[in-house]
Structures are given as structure tokens and as C-alpha cells.
């Protein structure tokens, strides 16, 4: 279990202090991309809009490393609408723009397409808990890793290739706040590339400059099933992609471009 109370501690309106639960596995002074993505989803969800439309697609651009410490977020409507709306959100660290996101928000209406809806895939059962084993050379005390319950159906952190894993976020995103379903999804979505690496992470460097999550519906339970895979091209690039589901079926599709280079 993580000894942190949340991924972020509030310092004021839209200002926060990151905790060790946000830590990147490769540099503890930097943040993993998941919690910042979720914090920008929070900014979008709290943005003044014309219709409180839920997030249907969110693209997060990482403009560089995200340092630990004090950060602030902001969001504004770019294209208002009663049925479809575009919201931009930004994150600043040390007065430097570090993350930018665009979110398309689309109105939901109950049962409008129920007669023609695509049948929901059935996810496998959640396995029994096992002691976590993270990437080789990563401490068992890794904050982000311990802030999430990982139950692998296929693959493992230190096993190259596709992976399928049930996840459960164990902490609030912001202290003393209930984490929203979409925030919970964004916390784990950026793990797609790390979970599905086709090459040894000890020998190869993978940098995902962006994260794109297309959401069919908000998760209905705290457990999310990630089924993810990566492909590596011949010119130092790759794609990590997959789906997120719950026990009611498909929730979202996830995609990340990758820069791939040897660590040697």
C-alpha cells in the first residue's frame, strides 16, 4: 500500500503539491504522466461550460519532463456548444508550461442507440492479489506503482510484450476529494506504453510525447481492465495502444506515439 494520502495536495484554487505517489519509475524527481493527465481531466470537468458535457476524447501533450513540486492548472472553453464542446487545459510547473490537453466533450443521452449498440466484450475475472514486482532496477517502494492495485492476467512489468491487467487506483487524485471515473481512467491510461513494451526497458528508452484516450462511456466500477500492446517500427518510432474496459464492457481506447532509442 502507498503511504501517501493522495497524488496531489491542494495549496489553493487550481494549485497543488505533488506527492511521491506521482513519481516516475525512471526519475523520482519527475512525475509519471498518469496523475498529471488525470489532473487536467479534473480541470476540464470543473471548467465553466454551457452544458456540463462529459469528456469523450482527450489528447494530452507532454511538453517535457514534469518535475515534482508545486504545480497549477487552468482550463477554458475553446468551442462552446450544446452537444459538442472543445476545452483546452494546461499545467504549469515552476512557471513553465509542461503539459497541454485538448478535450472534446459530447452530450450523452440514455438509450438513444441501445438497439444498435455494439455488443460489449466480456472481460476475464479479476485474479487474486500477488506481491507486486515492478520493472527491474525499480524500487519496491515506487510511489506510483504502489498507489495502484495491479492484477495481471497476461504479461508483467518486467516481461516484454503485450499485457492484460486489472487495475484499481487506491488513492484520491486530490486529497479530501472523491476521484471521478474519468480521472481514474486517466491515472492509469499513460501506463499503456510501459506495460506493453516489446523490448527490455533496461536496454531501450521509450518516450511517449502524447496520450490520446477516446472514451465511449465513463467507467462504472473502480476496477479497469487494460489490454495493451506495442509495435516498434524500423526508424526509431513505435505505437502503444489498447483498450480499457470494466465489468460492463468497453470503456475507452488508448493510443500513444513512441520515440524509441537504445540506452547503450
Residue pLDDT, tens place only, 94-129: 889 999 999 999 998 887 877 777 877 788 999 999
pLDDT tens digit sequence for 193-204: 999 999 888 888
Whole-angstrom distance, CA of residue 238 vs CA of residue 255: 11
| CA distances for 39 relative to 6, 49, 125, 211, 260, angstroms | 12, 18, 30, 14, 27
Using only C-alpha atoms, the chain has a radius of gyration, in whole angstroms, of 18
- 95 φ/ψ sector (left φ>0, alpha ψ -120 to 50, else beta): left
Give the span between the Cα atoms of 182 and 103, in whole angstroms. 12
User: Is a pLDDT exceeding 90 seen at residue 177?
Assistant: yes
Q: Is the pLDDT of residue 38 over 90?
A: yes
Domains of the chain (ranges plus CATH)?
A: 8-107+132-262 (2.40.160.210)
pTM over 0.75: yes
Burial 152-176 (b: 16+ CB within 10 A, else e): bbebbbeeeebbbbbbebebbbbbe
pLDDT tier at 75, thresholds 50, 70, 90: very high
Average pLDDT, the chain: 92
- Band (138; pLDDT cuts 50, 70, 90): confident
Least confident interval from 202-206, 217-221, 236-240, 247-251: 202-206
CA distance 105 to 49: 10
Amino acid at each position: 500500500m502507498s503511504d501517501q494520502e493522495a497524488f496531489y495536495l491542494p495549496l489553493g484554487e487550481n494549485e497543488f503539491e505533488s506527492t511521491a505517489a506521482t513519481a516516475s519509475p525512471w526519475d523520482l524527481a519527475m512525475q509519471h504522466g498518469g496523475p498529471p493527465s488525470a489532473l487536467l481531466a479534473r480541470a476540464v470537468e470543473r471548467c465553466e461550460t454551457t452544458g456540463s458535457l462529459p469528456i469523450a476524447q482527450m489528447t494530452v501533450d507532454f511538453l517535457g519532463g514534469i518535475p515534482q513540486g508545486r504545480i497549477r492548472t487552468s482550463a477554458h472553453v475553446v468551442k462552446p456548444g450544446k452537444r459538442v464542446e472543445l476545452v483546452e487545459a494546461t499545467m504549469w510547473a515552476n512557471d513553465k508550461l509542461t503539459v497541454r490537453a485538448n478535450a472534446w466533450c459530447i452530450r450523452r443521452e440514455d438509450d438513444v442507440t441501445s438497439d444498435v449498440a455494439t455488443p460489449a466484450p466480456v472481460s476475464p475475472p479479476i485474479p487474486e492479489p500477488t506481491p507486486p514486482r515492478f520493472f527491474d532496477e525499480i524500487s519496491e517502494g515506487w510511489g506510483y506503482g504502489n498507489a495502484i492495485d495491479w492484477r495481471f492476467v497476461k504479461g508483467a512489468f518486467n516481461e516484454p510484450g503485450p499485457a492484460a491487467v486489472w487495475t484499481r487506483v487506491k488513492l484520491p487524485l486530490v486529497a479530501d476529494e472523491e476521484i471521478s471515473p474519468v480521472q481514474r481512467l486517466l491515472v492509469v491510461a499513460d501506463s499503456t506504453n510501459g506495460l506493453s513494451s516489446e523490448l527490455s526497458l533496461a536496454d531501450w528508452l521509450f518516450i511517449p510525447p502524447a496520450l490520446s484516450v477516446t472514451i465511449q462511456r465513463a467507467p462504472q466500477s473502480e476496477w479497469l481492465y487494460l489490454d495493451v500492446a506495442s509495435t516498434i517500427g524500423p526508424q526509431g518510432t513505435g505505437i502503444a495502444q489498447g483498450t480499457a474496459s470494466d465489468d460492463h464492457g468497453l470503456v475507452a481506447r488508448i493510443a500513444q506515439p513512441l520515440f524509441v532509442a537504445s540506452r547503450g
